Amino acid sequence: MSEAFEQALAQEEAAARSDTLTQVTASHPKPVYTTFADLGELIPEEQDKSVFFRNNWLGQGGGLILTAPSGVGKSSLVIQALLHWQLGQEFLAQPLQTLKCALVQSEDSRRDMQEIKSGMAKGLLKNGWTQSEIDQAFARIHIWTCVGKMGTDFTDWLHRQQSEDPCDVIAINPIQGFFGGDISKQEDASRFLREGLDPILKGEGGTKPCMTVLVQHTTKMSGRQKEGNSTLTDYGEYLGAGSHEFTDWARACIGFIKHKSAPGTFVFKATKRGSRLKWKDANGQNTTERIMTHAKDYIFWLEVKDSDELKKLNGTSQESAPSPRSLKSQERTDNVHGTEENAIYLVKAVRNSVNAGVIVNNQLIREWASDRWKKIPGRTAVARFEEIRGQHGIGKDEQGNYTITTS
């Protein structure tokens, strides 16, 4: 083989490799990336339109999980937040700009929404808003109606809505109403949150980047949680029903539950990125807890701000409340009924129980007494009961069970 022929063959093979490389490159374009050098310098958050709330709490591409039990006012809370945020006013968080808001909800009827609107109007007027501001706030919140769509059907619909009606904040109430699939499975949660919602929030496909508020029900409480052994501090970020993926995905989380000793009052806990909210306690110190209450005669949320009231409520809040067992123990300790009154109670209890066919013995008497009253030094209610039971027609049989000897 001549040298000239070998050179020609090598050139032909090089050309073939070049053509192959060109085809591969065309079908596999170079990866798109940026570096830290491309990020630019940090500017004041007031000048950064991608930041929606002070201290960079939330902004474009972010998600807030708002979690609470059923029937406590999540719907009205979200609407009250949107009313404030779209005018750039503080509620739970301080907006840095006016935010165009949309609401997607599946639980409340038109009548329910009208009742919320009426309550909000009264509450806002009482809190210094003008009628013009209220009218403007109501007109700026867009209600997006979605019926019969779940999972990918819902997120596809949401993408179209955001394309046609670009908003800054999209509230979805409740997320369980549109999720589809098994909300406890990470795979299903990731598909909905990361494949469905994230492209919308981050502006993929040309939509306006935005944030979302996902309203989530709590999981069903276990017996241990009901007794107060688990609190918002212990498990607040995982309060909601469903996979832990919701918490992992969320940019921020706020949960609230009923206050232990104040009806209509609720303990709020900002469990993720809560320190950025700069909430204040009764002493003016930063906290991640807030206490809020329902207005008495209309649908509206009010923050408890009075320092004396806050200190009182914080002393008996969900976080420090004793369990039912310890409350019963304290009740027994604090009981001041006299021995005679306690003994008469036992007499009546024995007569009623025996007449109803219940076998009553010494052990049962002691359990009744210890469950209701402390022991009085030197004498107990049981001892006094033994002294007077004969006068009330109560005897004992050979087995030690109490009987009725007279009517």
Domain boundaries, the chain: 1-32, 45-315, 327-404
Let me know: does 265 contact 304? Beta carbons within 8 Å: yes
Place of tokens 């909430």: 279
Measured at the CA of 189, the angle between CA 187 and CA 191, to 5 degrees, comes to 70
pTM higher than 0.95, yes or no?
Answer: no
d(CA 316, CA 258): 12
pLDDT in tens, the chain (407 residues): 567 667 766 676 766 666 665 665 566 667 788 899 988 899 999 999 999 999 999 999 999 999 988 888 999 999 999 999 999 999 999 999 999 999 999 888 999 999 999 999 999 999 999 999 999 999 999 999 999 999 999 999 999 999 999 999 999 999 989 998 888 888 999 999 999 999 999 999 889 999 999 998 775 554 434 434 344 444 444 454 457 888 899 999 999 888 887 888 999 999 899 999 999 888 888 999 999 999 988 999 999 887 778 777 776 544 444 444 444 444 444 444 456 777 887 888 888 888 877 788 887 787 777 655 554 444 567 888 888 888 888 999 888 889 988 76
- Residue 228 is predicted with a pLDDT of 41
**CA dist list (Å): 264 to 71, 251, 259, 299:** 11, 29, 8, 12
Closest CA to 93 of 104, 108, 82, 107: 82
Give the CATH number of domain 45-315; options: 3.10.105.10, 3.40.1010.10, 3.40.50.300, 3.40.50.10260: 3.40.50.300
Helices H / strands E in the chain, number of each: 15, 13
How far from chain centre, in Å, is Cα 149?
24
Let me know: does 57 contact 277? Beta carbons within 8 Å: yes
